[in-house]
Structure 1
Amino acid sequence: MSRPLFLHIVDAVVAHDHYFVQKRNAAGVLGLSPLQKITAALRMLTYGVAADTQDEYLQIADSTTVESLKRFVRAIIEVFGDEYLRYPNNSDTTRLLALGEHRGFPGMLGSIDCMHWKWKNCPSAWQGMYSGKSSEPTIVLEAVASEDLWIWHAFFGMPGSHNDINVLHRSPLFARLLEGQAPQVNYTINGHNYKMGYYLADRIYPSWATFVKTISEPQGNKRKHFAQEQESARKAVERAFGVLQARFAIVRGPARFWYQETLQDIMTACIILHNMIVENERGEQDIDYNYDNEGERVTPSHTSTPDFDEFVRTHHDIRNRHTHSQLQEDLVEHLWHFYGRN
């Protein structure tokens, strides 16, 4: 990250947690500075190294490094979580819909997928529950990312024995939509009106109205073109996972902590820092990636909670297979004409 962003994080964390303030001991000797503690924590996140490797470079004990890491990630979540791991508000949704339409997918809100993080120190009693297809204990991260690699949704903590569908059924991804608190989305494709946004997903996801999947073994030029464009646009979330792991090697290698709560804080803090870096390094491009309200606390707009009948109706609308098929066919035609115009 850039030096100004790093110093901004240091100032915010020191102001939030008194642990990072430099103090004197009983003999009047100055203790560790905030830069030493925060640098040690960031080096563990960035390089994925053990705590005892910080002593030679920063003159800091391994126990202090671990304590600094735990307090640092908790401070990042408490200070920056409301802003950089927020649900899309009205302005964000409008911008995401514009990005999707620019790619030929009106109504698209991003791409969804899951990533597994190996848990090296998983307790022996839990290893069967956390071991999936890789036969090693892992923890699953479900995420939604947009084209600029901003991660809008992160659900972490499910055992690695679950697949993407099991994780989805426990995820709060559509909770705000069911509660009537999500921003309104209305668009028209091929003469049909739709009132819910959708995410690009791979073939394992269910055939819901809120997912658009590729076509297996497509026949004809239109369907082949749709499959190619869908798979290309869906790579946004794969790229986001790759960039997240490249920036923070601790989530690329095996996790060495014992408690799942610590791993939850580390993963969440890495995603928040990732979004902060994305915002800071956002360059000049043809598409306006600068989201409204950036640099400020964002409070999602809330509406009244719907009654039970409306809740059930929305639940069935989300899982409507007919709408899923109709939306896919409309996008096949739309992308074919979109390709011809461009």
Structure 2
Amino acid sequence: MNIRQSLLQLNESSSDDDDEISFAEYHIFHQPSHSKRKHDGSIPGHLVKFRDRQAGHARMYQDYLAENSTFSLTDFRRRYRMSRDLFKRIMAAVEDHDDYFKFKFNAASTPGLSCFQKVTAVFRMITYGVAADATDEYVRIGESTVIESLKKFVKAIIKVFGDEYLRAPNEMDTSRLLAIGQERGFPGMLGSIDCMHWRWKNCPSSWHGMYSCHLHEPTIILEVVASQNLWIWHAFFGLPGSHNDINVLHRSPLFSKLAEGQAPQVYYNINGHDYTMGYYLADGIYPSWATFVKTIPEPQGNKRKYFAKAQEAVRKDVERAFGVLQSRFAIVRGPAHFWDQETLGDIMKACVIMHNMIVEDEGEVDPDERFQDGGDNVQPSHDQHPDLDEFIETHRKIRDKETHHQLQQDLVEHLWQHHSDQY
């Protein structure tokens, strides 16, 4: 009598529970010492987990997406960092873009994971910064599937929404930014600029020296330009943490459109002087270029003290943007656990894109100025092809120190005359 017949006979004589016999059979016939046949795909001795994915999806749906959901919209906003409508819009777009997120049956007609389960697992990693296997108990999804879902999700976000929500300012955007700057006492201002370091826990040992910074651990740098409403207009990510803000700036494409004559035209007058290039508020490490306005270290006199106070107050927009980005997406606040730079870059870009989508969805951007044309918004507002001499001359104007100091002095007078009662 073989082992299976013995088990069946034991079952008939002592128990009517088929689940107990199947469990016993499973452990006997899947041990390596008892395996007699070749396994083409399964691992001998590997315990297959029955996660009951359908029940998991039904429970999650009732918790968050049903009409009378268990948890309120406020709970949803706190746990997903965005409104339910925006989340559903993102989930639908990702599912349409990549078949990986569509609900399927495998070759054995076993139902797979729903798009909601995969995307929820990704959001748990992004918003809470948890490990990949920490979502299994609720979402009913394996660790390797979560990691694969995360990589595919961030690529889909960049592909579907990147042109609209991570674009250079067009003419309409520039006009709005200039109007905001004028109202705040800085005519010609397009935003504020700074850099942020993201710790890289799993940086290869051979790269530690190149990526280590003043924090004495490997980091990767993100350069950002942000406006008052926390919208991020420029994001340049990927340089080693050993660089400083100046090194990053020299490699950044921030002024490429301006040098190529494709940026929107800017004209403004301050204190009787005309200017044709917008500028960004920056801290003291940035160079004295015509496109930057820095504070005055150790200012003397009421006018200069007032200018320094106003400049430092408005420049904090970019610091606030960093704080909100890290608060919404804990994955970029804690140490990065992935090994390859491409995945880290995709994660950072996707978080910036979703940050801008939340800014728009929550009313920080005028709904009448929603950007419907997608990629058309990043096309040059006017078509110019400067020759080499014009290209070099534009570069010279961008880096002109005399214009930088003149602009700073004009702003000192302008703020003192028109806005001294606001700060």
Q: TM-score range by the shorter chain?
A: over 0.9
User: After TM superposition, where is structure 1 displaced by more than 6 Å over at least 4 residues in a row?
Assistant: none
User: Percent identical across equivalent pairs?
Assistant: 68
Contact kept? 2:165, 2:353, Cα under 8 Å: yes
Q: CA deviation at 1:341?
A: 7.0
Aligned AA (1:161): S
Q: CA deviation at 1:293?
A: 4.4
Gaps of 5+ in 1: none
State the match for 1:305 in structure 2: 385
Q: Aligned pair 1:165/2:242, yes or no?
A: no
Q: CA deviation at 1:68?
A: 0.2
Contact kept? 1:245, 1:252, Cα under 8 Å: yes
State the match for 1:58 in structure 2: 139
- Closer, same or farther: CA 207–92 of 1 in aligned 2, 3 Å: same
Q: Secondary structure at the match of 1:111?
A: strand
Q: Aligned pair 1:315/2:395, yes or no?
A: yes
Q: CA deviation at 1:98?
A: 0.5
Aligned AA (2:303): K
Aligned AA (2:264): P
State the match for 1:294 in structure 2: 371
Task: Provide the rounded CA distance (Å) in 2 between the counterparts of 1:192 and 1:120.
Answer: 50
Map 1:265-276 to 2 at 5 A. Answer: 265-276=346-357
Q: 2:415 aligns with which of 319, 335, 338?
A: 335
Aligned AA (2:231): W
- Bigger radius of gyration among the two: 2
Q: Aligned pair 1:44/2:125, yes or no?
A: yes
State the match for 2:258 in structure 1: 177
Contact kept? 1:73, 1:266, Cα under 8 Å: yes
Q: Secondary structure at the match of 1:152?
A: strand
- Which structure has more RCO (C-alpha within 8 Å, separation ≥ 6)? 1
Q: Secondary structure at the match of 1:115?
A: strand
- Cα offsets for 1:281-332 (capped at 9, x unmatched): 025xxxx745734244124225122100100000000000000000000000
Task: Provide the rounded CA distance (Å) in 2 between the counterparts of 1:270 and 1:339.
Answer: 36
Aligned AA (1:266): I
Task: Provide the rounded CA distance (Å) in 2 between the counterparts of 1:293 and 1:68.
Answer: 29
Map 1:1-342 to 2 at 5 A. Answer: 1-282=82-363, 289-290=366-367, 292-297=369-374, 298-301=377-380, 302-340=382-420
- Cα offsets for 1:25-78 (capped at 9, x unmatched): 122221000000011111110000000101001000000000000000000000
- Closer, same or farther: CA 273–10 of 1 in aligned 2, 3 Å: same
Gaps of 5+ in 2: 1-81
Contact kept? 1:12, 1:79, Cα under 8 Å: yes
- Cα offsets for 1:158-211 (capped at 9, x unmatched): 000000000000000000000000000000000000000000000000000000
Task: Provide the rounded CA distance (Å) in 2 between the counterparts of 1:327 and 1:76.
Answer: 40
Q: Secondary structure at the match of 1:144?
A: strand
Contact kept? 2:306, 2:420, Cα under 8 Å: no
Contact kept? 1:38, 1:68, Cα under 8 Å: yes
Q: CA deviation at 1:146?
A: 0.2
Task: Provide the rounded CA distance (Å) in 2 between the counterparts of 1:291 and 1:84.
Answer: 16
Contact kept? 1:91, 1:291, Cα under 8 Å: no
Contact kept? 1:88, 1:300, Cα under 8 Å: no
Task: Provide the rounded CA distance (Å) in 2 between the counterparts of 1:220 and 1:161.
Answer: 37
Give the stretch that moved more between structures: 91-100 or 24-33.
Answer: 24-33
- Closer, same or farther: CA 208–221 of 1 in aligned 2, 3 Å: same
Task: Provide the rounded CA distance (Å) in 2 between the counterparts of 1:128 and 1:24.
Answer: 48
Task: Provide the rounded CA distance (Å) in 1 between the counterparts of 2:106 and 2:387.
Answer: 59
Aligned AA (1:197): G
Aligned length: 338
Task: Provide the rounded CA distance (Å) in 2 between the counterparts of 1:291 and 1:77.
Answer: 24
- Closer, same or farther: CA 333–214 of 1 in aligned 2, 3 Å: same
- Closer, same or farther: CA 268–135 of 1 in aligned 2, 3 Å: same
Q: Secondary structure at the match of 1:74?
A: helix
